[in-house]
Structure 1
Amino acid sequence: MGRQILVVDDDQKTRQLLKTYLEKNQFEVLVAHDGASFMAEFLRHADELALVILDVMLPDTDGFALCREVRARAPKVAIIMLTASADETDRVVGLEIGADDYMAKPYSPRELLARIKAILRRSGAELSPALRFHRFAGFTLDLVERTVVDAQGQPVVLTGLDFQLLRCFVEHPGVILDRDQLCEQTRGRESGPLDRSLDVQISRLRLRLGDDGKQPHLIKTVRGAGYVFAAEVVSGAV
């Protein structure tokens, strides 16, 4: 598993504390203070990076723009975003554009470390060929490249949140997943009683996969219980 992490935060004290803490836990840590210095370090070390930590608020840009750049240039690099905002919209936007996880400030370095380790355990570096690819209904999902292609080999355009939701389904075929489980897996929280964002996300994912919303054959609604992925899934190497 790769051990090199790049952190961008405009607060010097935060950068240093995080660097010291992660280095004590056997990670190699690079730091940047703004978007420009981050991109310079990222381009210099992209092939060695396992993960980047992005502060949303930076003096010359924002973490969302950097997240898009990282995901476009290095699909395998894991991304954690940090924000001082209590607005849930930030978290949803970050996940939509490709972040793997999101934490609100102030945060516990111990919890951040746990999330880093969890993400890296799921990363391509630790995926055997038998776990990398999932095939269903003519589609192939690649957990390393974070892509989905159809039966003709054409890419299916998915947001980061779409991909996380589909991954959750294909890794649990035939299992009824309730709303809280799906929200926890994709948004890091349970669903609220009036929260309809998951339903919107399910509808969009069905549309991306050509699954009829009125009579779906891939993602089926189990009334009063949740959703179930009804397609047969075959996992293995190419």
Structure 2
Amino acid sequence: MNDTDASLDDILIVEDEPKIARLVADYLEGSGYATHHIDHGDQVVGYLSEAESRPSLVLLDLMLPGTDGLTLCREIRQRWPDIAVVMLTARVEEVDRLLGLELGADDYICKPFSPREVVARVKAVLRRSQAHQQDSEANHDLVLDESGWRALADGQDLGLTAVEFQLLKVMMHSPGRIFAREQLMDHMYRDHRIVSERTVDSHIKKLRKKIADIWPEREIIRSVYGVGYKYQPEE
């Protein structure tokens, strides 16, 4: 029986072990998801760039031929922050777990795993993502017009620069997640130019001021002392 709340979501499975990929795909398709399988890391960015309809979530193996999973996770987060990422790996060392999450993974599953567990984790991640988007739209709160590179607070254009918009977009797609300044710099400047951490602070300060001009009593971009910043919408 298909799960009706999953019927509109596409899942990209990036896994070089065909038996695992087929098993996971069977269970996901049985729950109403559409799947596509890639078995080589070098093919992922090209597929996402050219796809007419991008997947809602990528199941991403850590150890892949070609480009590895951690590198791909960073690339996906920089270029398509609205795509959820769940990492799959047989490496259970804590450093790998933390590194994967710091690069932007929404969840992390260690092999061997039950395919039912994978389906449950996928549903949970997608529901969190969809709930955030629906809440923003329903409340006429802070809405991103990505095609026009605009941010609207209660319908009013904040007048953001391209860098400010990119910063806000990255944080809004992962509410509550703490971003280090170095991570934010990677999103601000795709050419990886060398800038100081004060540059991030300056852009955040300007972004906050523009939000405060419309919402003087609300603080949605919060500092985490010694770490960085996070987007924390009010309940």
Q: Same fold (TM over 0.5)?
A: yes
The structural deviation recorded for 1:94 is: 1.6
Q: Which residue of 2 aligns with 1:61?
A: 67
Alignment of 1:1-238 (within 5 A): 2-45=8-51, 47-124=53-130, 127-128=134-135, 129-130=137-138, 133=141, 153=160, 154-155=164-165, 157=167, 164=174, 167-168=175-176
The structural deviation recorded for 1:114 is: 1.0
Q: Is the 8 A contact 2:24 2:118 kept in 1?
A: no
Structure 2 CA distance for partners of 1:155 and 1:21, relative to 1, 3 Å: same
Please give the secondary structure, in 2, of the residue aligned with 1:72.
helix
Q: Which has the higher contact order (CA 8 A, sep 6+)?
A: 1
The structural deviation recorded for 1:35 is: 0.9
CA distance in 1, matches of 2:224, 2:49: 43
Structure 2 CA distance for partners of 1:24 and 1:234, relative to 1, 3 Å: closer
Structure 2 CA distance for partners of 1:131 and 1:47, relative to 1, 3 Å: farther
Structure 2 CA distance for partners of 1:155 and 1:56, relative to 1, 3 Å: same
The structural deviation recorded for 1:40 is: 3.6
CA distance in 2, matches of 1:155, 1:99: 22
Percent identity over the alignment is 35
Please give the secondary structure, in 2, of the residue aligned with 1:29.
strand
Q: TM-score, normalised by structure 2?
A: 0.59
Q: Tell me the alpha carbon deviations over residues 160-203 of structure 1, each in whole angstroms, 9 at most, x when there is no partner.
A: 89985xx34xxxxxxxxxxxxxxxxx6xxxxxxxxxxx9xx7xx
Q: Which residue of 1 aligns with 2:210?
A: none
CA distance in 2, matches of 1:220, 1:42: 33
CA distance in 2, matches of 1:124, 1:16: 26
Structure 2 CA distance for partners of 1:46 and 1:68, relative to 1, 3 Å: farther
The structural deviation recorded for 1:121 is: 1.0
Q: Which residue of 2 aligns with 1:213?
A: none
Kindly tell me the number of residue pairs found equivalent between the two proteins: 181
Please give the secondary structure, in 1, of the residue aligned with 2:112.
coil
Structure 2 CA distance for partners of 1:60 and 1:123, relative to 1, 3 Å: same
Q: TM-score, normalised by structure 1?
A: 0.58
1:127 maps to a residue whose letter is Q
Q: CA RMSD in A?
A: 4.3
The structural deviation recorded for 1:91 is: 1.9
Q: Which runs of 4+ in 1 moved over 3 A?
A: 130-134, 155-158, 160-164, 207-210, 217-221, 232-235
Q: Which runs of 5+ in 1 are unaligned?
A: 135-140, 169-185, 187-197, 211-216, 222-228
The structural deviation recorded for 1:155 is: 4.9
Structure 2 CA distance for partners of 1:219 and 1:106, relative to 1, 3 Å: same
Q: Is the 8 A contact 1:124 1:132 kept in 2?
A: no
